[in-house]
Structure 1
């Protein structure tokens, strides 16, 4: 078979170019340290490498979210811990004030201490994070959550939103504690109603509990409120009559016994202690109490000479002590949520570190270059390229005149 000069040149040039391409490919691998630099190097491995890089990118984002969540949860847990300790100290202050040997000046000093504690608690509740956002305002991070209104009461201006951070596929963790939950919505220690003890009280008693009593049917009359009047029953005891807000008599107990609860209209009320004739108190619905309102009430009682060391004042202070306990427990509950979330994100971060280590090992197997094998292949391709180039140069320079 005859081979034309053009055909010979094309074949030899193609051989040289193929060897050059193979040599350049190995040089690129040696330069990058990667066996697969393009999908053409190994299509199957390239797909696996791309998936692993995507997984690692997702893990990196999860870790960033976890770092953000950890920072905010740690700060939240710390602030709530400070608030819990502060509220506990206010109970000790109120207990000191109840002591009958305390003078008026000492009682005023305790009231001033409570006011300072209230202001310190308010400062904690208005804490900011490193970005200047309010910790306890829910979604309204730019709005100061707590402030005094014109009536001297502390009101909440945030919302109940819990900001979520994605820490793993399909897993979100709350990174904040709304201020209304931590400071405003403590369960009422008495149950479903608050009590207002009235001036002139002479009996030594407190309302131990006042709550709805299912399955009894409760039918409120708006505005809902109840008055408990105690009168002399002319038999050595007292008679109790309960009225609703419209003045309708709901229950009469001719011979009141504080060891037995008073049940009416689906409500059960239990007293501790014995009221005297002409004593009276009112009740209104209240399932939650604010720790700020509780401390404000304690200060008001201690600064009111008409209530100090009176049965009315003592009953109100006893109720306040229960509310302080409830407020502290609520803060502790929210602190526990932050602590559990903090522990959870740390666990997810550890899992992500393990996942990335596994992915990196798999990537190494798929794309990392075996330098010894690559150098041997490079030497082989160089030798082949030199041989082809030398042979081509010799063949291309041969003419018919060399044989004449």
Structure 2
């Protein structure tokens, strides 16, 4: 068989090119530390590597979302803890003011202390995060959620929005607690109606319950309760907002509940003839409004140790207790979410370890094997180059 010079040249150059290509591939692997640098290196393994990298990218995004949620919920939980402490102190101040032996100037001093505490409480309710967003404003994070209006009443300008963060596949966590949920919408301790005690009150009594027990028979209205003397016996007349008497309870006994229009009312203490109070629908109470009303009451000398003031004070203390429970519940929600995020974060870390281990098996280079292969390729390349050099230098004229 005769081999032409051109054929011999092509075969040798091809062998040298393949050897150089194999050597360069190993050099790339040694430089990167990866045995798969392109899909062509190992198409099947490359698909697995791409899938694992996508999973890790998704886990990394989840981890960022978890960090964001933890940061904001941690701030909320901390501020709610401060709120609980401050509210407890304010409640103690209000109870101290209930001492009938205090002078008006002493009550005013307590009112001034509570004013400072209320300002601090408002400051907490208007807390900003690191980006300048108000954390208790719902979705309306650009404006302070709580403020005093021109009448000195506290208004909420945020909303009930709860921002959600996706922290795992199919799992979302709220990253904020809306301010109305925390400070505004505590359950009315009386039930479904609020009570307004009047300055004409002389008896020592309070309303302990005003709740709807039969929604089908319930007629929503503002009702007036009047205690009248009927030949030496105390009767109770209940009037609607139009002044019509809708129910009369003869020989009133405060130990027995009063029922009318699907509503049940329970009193404690002893009213006297001439006493009256009004009652209107009210499902929730605000801890901020309760403290604000308490301060106003302490500053008004007419409330000092009066039957109306004592009844109003008892109601405010109950409202404050309900508000404290509401704040505690909101703090518990934030705390429980933080615990869940800790568990989710641990799961993500474990998943990342498993993915990284699988990636390492697929793409990490065995340096010892690669160096051995590199030396083999170098030896083969040198041998081919040497043979090509010697064969290429042979000439017929050397033998003539």
So what's the TM-score if we normalise by structure 1? 0.96
Does residue 312 (structure 1) correspond to residue 308 (structure 2)? The answer is: yes
**What pairs up with 1:171-320 in 2 under 5 angstroms?**
171-214=171-214, 216-220=216-220, 224-234=221-231, 236-320=232-316
RMSD of aligned residue pairs (Cα, Å): 1.2
Q: Could you tell me how far 1:4 is from its partner in structure 2?
A: 2.2
Question: Partners of 1:109 and 1:133 in 2: how far apart?
Answer: 35
Give CA deviations for 1:373-400 in whole Å, capped at 9, x if unaligned: 1111111111111111111122222223
Question: Partners of 2:45 and 2:185 in 1: how far apart?
Answer: 57
Q: Could you tell me how far 1:339 is from its partner in structure 2?
A: 0.8
Partner SS state of residue 271, structure 1 = strand
Task: Verify the 8 A CA contact 2:192 2:281 in the aligned structure 1.
Answer: yes
**What pairs up with 1:127-206 in 2 under 5 angstroms?**
127-206=127-206
Partner SS state of residue 232, structure 1 = strand
User: 1:349 maps to which residue?
Assistant: 345
Number of residue pairs matched by the alignment: 400
Partner SS state of residue 398, structure 1 = coil
Give CA deviations for 1:330-375 in whole Å, capped at 9, x if unaligned: 1111111111111111211111111111111111111111111111
**What pairs up with 1:57-72 in 2 under 5 angstroms?**
57-72=57-72
Partner SS state of residue 227, structure 2 = strand
Give CA deviations for 1:5-31 in whole Å, capped at 9, x if unaligned: 222211111111111111111111111
Question: Partners of 2:354 and 2:214 in 1: how far apart?
Answer: 57
Task: Verify the 8 A CA contact 1:216 1:265 in the aligned structure 2.
Answer: no
User: 1:50 maps to which residue?
Assistant: 50
Partner SS state of residue 306, structure 1 = helix
Task: Verify the 8 A CA contact 1:70 1:342 in the aligned structure 2.
Answer: yes
Task: Verify the 8 A CA contact 2:100 2:304 in the aligned structure 1.
Answer: no
Question: Partners of 2:149 and 2:115 in 1: how far apart?
Answer: 16
Unaligned residue ranges in structure 1 (runs of 5+): none
